[in-house]
Structure 1
Amino acid sequence: MYNTIAIVTPFKKNGKINWLNLNFLINFYIFNKIKNFLFLGTTGESHNFKTKDYINILLYIKKYNIKFFFNINKINIKKIFYLFFLLKINNNIKVLINIPNYILINNLNLFKYFKIINKFGLKNILYNIPKRNNIILNYNIINKLLKKNFLIYMKNSINNIKNTLIYKNKNIILFSGEDKNLLFCLKNNYYGTISVFNNIIPRNFFFINKKLNFLINKLNFHINPILIKFFLYKVFLIKGIFNSLLFGVEKFYFTQSQT
């Protein structure tokens, strides 16, 4: 299963990116066999990042031998297009994108939106998460987007049998949308997972997730990114199955909406 970490971005107390800790985190995950990275893809990050932050992180991570892509979650259409262009010229081949909340949700508007962003030549991973953006996509629009090759991938948080069978029949590549549903996604042959939970147990992610899955669902517990970040804030990082503590180079913070 294709395993991608939604890496947490460390900050200094003054609100600037903590490059020393980011270097520590990236190398730690590389050591733990993580090869695929999603940047700015955890709660409260992408919409708080300025364009210069995208540029700085892009330039910074080029020195690592990793596969990476970015999340774009903006409320300004010009900024979205500019960031697509920026990622394109820096050899970023995939983008995780939500449906912007300013778009009137009907088939025509969504089709026009994806038609435009498709012109940038990037592979779009649609984050289908109705409980956060209150948008339930019509299957007709998904069909139209697939026929035009405007959409290839989907990070799907509606993990039920009916929904999964419909999308699998449409030949869309599905990623797990929530960590607590990983076992369901494994059984239903999802292509992979994009996970914030990886931040604390990268090497043993699948093992731990399957073992805890029953308890998580029984308690109706949601593995919220805020909880993961708070945990990292307190102990910085835990390697493997809690076999040794690796404290960060220096204390780090998160963006304002994450604290």
Structure 2
Amino acid sequence: MFKGSIVALITPIKKNGSICKKDLTKLINYHIKNKTSAIVSVGTTGESSMLSKKEHCNLIMMTLEISDGRIPIIAGTGSNDTSESINLTKKLENSGISGCLTVTPYYNRPTQEGLYQHFKSISESTHLPQILYNVPSRTGCDLLPETIARLSNFKNIIGIKEATGDLSRVNKISSLVNNKKFIILSGDDITFLDFIQLGGHGVISVTANIAAKKMSKICSLALNNNFIKARKINKKLMYLHKALFIESNPIPVKWAAFKLGLINNNILRLPLTKLSKKFELIVEKAICKAGII
């Protein structure tokens, strides 16, 4: 469940600003049909930082309810406040989620020791599997391989989403971690296939929101060492991988999902705004090149 193409799911929102259960159902069914390995609920792409604490929990529970055991659900439980992350994680124990994706604390820029103590405290507070999430471009701190190796000694810290785009991290992490079952996932669609070829286990993907079938197929081929076919499919998606970050994620992917009819409203929470008109044609061309219309 923690390998292959895992989608960082967008959060569909109604015009009145509330979460749209109808569209969420459509999205979840789309991923089940197209063999996505798992869903990350309320990650970065799910606009986690714009949801209230109550909405955050409610959205995860709604996702669990709709999925009804048909696909594993990984809950985004990160915070820059250790106690808040622990409280959210504890609320989800015995809920039915398959694990937690916990981002490094953002804004306050902790040291490596601070990062270690943060994740250690969370790990010791729960029995739920924990996937670390390293994305320095958003958080202002970098969880280094040496610290990841220390954290991998905790039984329920089972893997990491590595979103630096630095392919050398795969070998650095795997060489330092003693646990051979430790899962290393890419968090960068542009480089994810190279990441898998170097020893990674899959990707937590933005592109999978609108190209679920192709992303699932690429990962399946790659994990079975058929990189020739995998690269042939991924070549058609490369322009899309790039276009979906032409403005801050999830602005472009939400526009694309709306364009493809996967959601009924292209609504984002402020301070995010809709895709700039000047970029719409670029994203539309990328969708066409990917062959998903």
TM-score band w.r.t. shorter chain: 0.7 to 0.9
Three-state SS of the structure 2 residue aligned to 1:100 is coil
Cα gap change, 1:182 to 1:107, in 2 (>3 Å): closer
Q: Distance in 2 between matches of 1:187 and 1:86?
A: 37
Q: Which position in structure 2 is the counterpart of 1:245? A: none
Q: Can you list the C-alpha shifts for 1:159-188, whole angstroms capped at 9, x where unaligned?
A: 445322111212432111110012212321
Q: Is residue 165–residue 191 contact of structure 2 (8 Å, CA) maintained in 1?
A: yes
Q: Distance in 1 between matches of 2:193 and 2:90?
A: 36
The alignment status of 1:112 with 2:103, answered yes or no, reads no
The equivalences for 1:143-162 within 5 A come to 143-149=149-155, 151-162=157-168
Q: Is residue 180–residue 222 contact of structure 1 (8 Å, CA) maintained in 2?
A: no
Three-state SS of the structure 1 residue aligned to 2:212 is coil
Cα gap change, 1:77 to 1:39, in 2 (>3 Å): same
Three-state SS of the structure 2 residue aligned to 1:178 is coil
Three-state SS of the structure 2 residue aligned to 1:253 is coil
The size of the alignment, in residue pairs, is 245
The equivalences for 1:44-63 within 5 A come to 45-60=47-62, 61-63=64-66
Q: Which position in structure 1 is the counterpart of 2:190? A: 180
Q: Can you list the C-alpha shifts for 1:7-41, whole angstroms capped at 9, x where unaligned?
A: 11100111100111111111122222224111112
Q: Is residue 38–residue 69 contact of structure 1 (8 Å, CA) maintained in 2?
A: yes
Q: Which position in structure 1 is the counterpart of 2:88? A: 83
> Aligned partner of 2:116: which letter?
F
- Stretches of structure 2 that go unaligned for 5 or more consecutive residues are 219-229, 274-293
CA shift for structure 1 position 87: 1.5
Cα gap change, 1:138 to 1:156, in 2 (>3 Å): closer
Q: Which position in structure 2 is the counterpart of 1:241? A: none
Q: Is residue 134–residue 162 contact of structure 2 (8 Å, CA) maintained in 1?
A: yes
Q: Is residue 78–residue 105 contact of structure 2 (8 Å, CA) maintained in 1?
A: yes
The alignment status of 1:36 with 2:38, answered yes or no, reads yes
Q: Can you list the C-alpha shifts for 1:62-95, whole angstroms capped at 9, x where unaligned?
A: 2422210111243444432221011113132311
Q: Which position in structure 1 is the counterpart of 2:261? A: 236
Q: Distance in 1 between matches of 2:88 and 2:53?
A: 7
The alignment status of 1:254 with 2:268, answered yes or no, reads yes
Q: Which position in structure 2 is the counterpart of 1:25? A: 27
Q: Distance in 2 between matches of 1:214 and 1:27?
A: 25
Q: Distance in 1 between matches of 2:166 and 2:80?
A: 30
Q: Which position in structure 1 is the counterpart of 2:128? A: 122
CA shift for structure 1 position 140: 3.2
Q: Which position in structure 2 is the counterpart of 1:168? A: 174
Per the normalisation by structure 2, the TM-score is: 0.74
Three-state SS of the structure 2 residue aligned to 1:97 is strand
Q: Which position in structure 2 is the counterpart of 1:9? A: 11
CA shift for structure 1 position 4: 0.8
Q: Which position in structure 2 is the counterpart of 1:223? A: 244
Q: 1:67 aligns with which of 55, 67, 72?
A: 72
> Aligned partner of 2:38: which letter?
N
Q: Is residue 47–residue 74 contact of structure 1 (8 Å, CA) maintained in 2?
A: no
Identity %: 25
Three-state SS of the structure 1 residue aligned to 2:271 is helix
CA shift for structure 1 position 102: 5.4
- Two-structure CA RMSD over aligned residues (Å): 2.6
The alignment status of 1:211 with 2:235, answered yes or no, reads yes
Q: Distance in 1 between matches of 2:150 and 2:107?
A: 21
Cα gap change, 1:48 to 1:149, in 2 (>3 Å): same
Moved over 4 A (4+): 213-217
